[in-house]
Amino acid sequence: MISRLLDRFQQWRNRCRSCAVDGIDKSFLSQCTHHKPMARVKTAMEYQCESCETLWVLADRARFLRKVVRKELYAQWKSRSWLPTSRQMGILKEIAGAADHDEKNVYYPCQINLPGGRLIAKAILVATTGDCFGKFPLDRGVSLLAANHGISPSDFALPAEVRAATMVAREKSMGYAPVNVRDNRGKRYTLSGEMHLFARDGIRGPDLSLDESPYHGKNIVHPDGAEMYLICDMFDGKTAPQR
């Protein structure tokens, strides 16, 4: 008991005060004397903390430096380019991605057929400028897109216009940016924030549409995590490799 307390005290005493946060507003960067720019990585600048060696990324269009928690995943991402095959690209265009503010990441809800034959019905592919590495401290269910990932539209994906609306909704309070939707029976819901997939009481994403009525705040639904996330580089039609 006492040794555990001592361990925790040591951890607390040795932690880097500068890197205790998950994000740093880039306008404060000049005050972060420990954070040194290390390298240009694709569409981002990589920073490292001199005192604790924590890695950070600042994507070109981003306002915040993101702390890289999954260092191995990030190292794998920066080792080469990760673009969809032209076949995958065709399906992703059909799905239509939803971009966050300033298009740092574009999200595509999808179904993934894994090389071993397993089917993941609720997955999200994230095309990123590098900014997403602050969002993936998750240990499992996150990997880089490979040519043998079979991608198809998900039965749970929300319509593109609903997903797009949740990405740009204004916050009413901290972390709560509501979007009104209704299902095909007229029942109304309030989506609480960024959302790509929906499954509730037999109602699935495609059954919902935007509800133009004034804010009601009824039946608030929070996003569920996807079963799997795949990461690839931000792409446009011209960058598809012919694999």
Nearer of residues 68 and 91 to Zn ion, judged by Cβ: 68
Q: Which is nearer to Zn ion, 8 or 36 (CB)?
A: 36
Nearer to Zn ion, 54 or 111 (CB): 54
18 binds Zn ion per the rule CB under 5 A: yes
Which residues lie closer than 8 Å to 43 by C-beta, 6 or more apart?
A: 59, 60, 129, 130, 233, 234
CB of residue 52 vs Zn ion: minimum separation in angstroms? 3
Residues in contact with Zn ion, shown as a per-residue x/- string from 138 to 167 under the rule CB under 5 A: ------------------------------
Closest CA to 228 of 162, 176, 128, 151: 151
Per CB under 5 A, contacts with Zn ion among 33-72 are 49, 51-52, 54
Asked if residue 19 binds Zn ion (CB under 5 A), the reply is yes
- Give residues with Cβ within 8 angstroms of 209, minimum separation 6: 159, 162, 181, 182
99 contacts Zn ion (rule: CB under 5 A): no
Choose between 21 and 138: whose C-beta lies nearer to Zn ion. 21
Applying CB under 5 A, the site for Zn ion has a residue count of: 7
> Nearest distance from residue 215's CB to Zn ion, in Å?
41
**3-state class (DSSP) for residue 230:** strand
Q: Which of 90, 125, 127, 97 is CA-nearest to residue 111?
A: 125
- Residue 202: exposed, middle, or buried by beta-carbon count in 10 A (0-12, 13-18, 19+)? exposed
Residues near Zn ion (CB under 5 A): 16, 18-19, 49, 51-52, 54
